[in-house]
Amino acid sequence: MFFYLYKRYQVDILQKDSTFSFKDMQLYEKIFLAMWIIGSMLILAFALLGYMIGIFGSSAILIIAFLILIIGGSNKLEQKRILNEKIGPAAEKRMNEMVNLLRSFHIDVHNKKQLDEIIVMARKEEELYDTWKGFRGLFKGMSTYILLPIISILLAEYFKDVAWPILITRAIVLMLFCLSMVMMIFVFSMGITDILNPEIRDLRRLIRDIEDIKVFFRDGDSSLSLLKNDK
């Protein structure tokens, strides 16, 4: 029965929340996204061509994009708009849908013991879906004993027998390239993790939603009513 509940949760709740619309983004978010994509592509292209001026210019585009995102998102009016127009209504809608789903399975949403039992079952199911558990140690060993030596050899050849000005230039290029790659990996890491283990992601969301109900849900006095009072 838990499997049926979980699949209903995926279809009835998660699929409704998975939609993304470029039109719903604010202007500063659209500008950041466009500049980030363009800047990252230009850095990669200029790095392959060895064009220093282009690399520095592309790095400046990424820096400006981050400044636009930080400044636009840190505005108090924008933060309040996000809370009132996005986070608050979405949280209330999701909680109500989750409560209705649990009640359709004759689960008492006020019975914390019963909710805890569902959480325990979800965590057991999460362990079964963790197909990458056996590969983590193998990947760590490959990184330590294979990838790192190869990278060290390549870097030694890259900096071999060059004058100091060229050495410094190459070091700066390498540093900028590594920084851009780290930022890209950080931005897309959550998406990659979700693709590799979507079931674990959904089970963790189910657990969080049930824990929210345990703490915040009250009949006739849900989270949205509290948010409306804060406006």
Q: What HEC string does 11-75 produce? A: HHHHHHHCCCCHHHCCHHHHHHHHHHHHHHHHHHHHHHHCCHHHHHHHHHHHHHHHHHHHHHHHC
Which residue from 63, 67, 53, 40 is spatially nearest to 173, judged by alpha carbons?
53
Taking only the tens of pLDDT, the chain with its 231 residues reads: 898 999 999 988 887 665 556 666 778 888 888 888 898 888 888 887 878 888 888 888 888 988 988 888 888 888 888 888 788 888 888 899 999 999 999 999 999 999 999 999 999 988 887 666 656 556 666 666 666 667 777 777 766 777 777 777 777 777 777 777 666 666 655 555 566 678 888 899 999 999 999 988 876 554 444 445 454
What DSSP element (H or E) covers 160? none
The token pair at 20 is 């993304």
Domain of 96 in residue numbering reads as 2-230
Predicted TM-score (pTM) of this structure: 0.55
Q: What is the reported pLDDT for 221?
A: 53
**CA separation for the pair 222, 169 (Å, rounded):** 59
Which residue from 231, 88, 3 is spatially nearest to 96, judged by alpha carbons?
88
The token pair at 34 is 């466009």
Round the CA-based radius of gyration of the chain to a whole number and report it. Answer: 24
Q: Amino acid identity, residue 16?
A: K
Residue 160 region by backbone torsions, left for phi larger than 0, else alpha for psi between -120 and 50, else beta: beta
Q: Amino acid identity, residue 33?
A: L
Domain count, the chain: 1
**CA separation for the pair 1, 187 (Å, rounded):** 37
SS3 187: helix
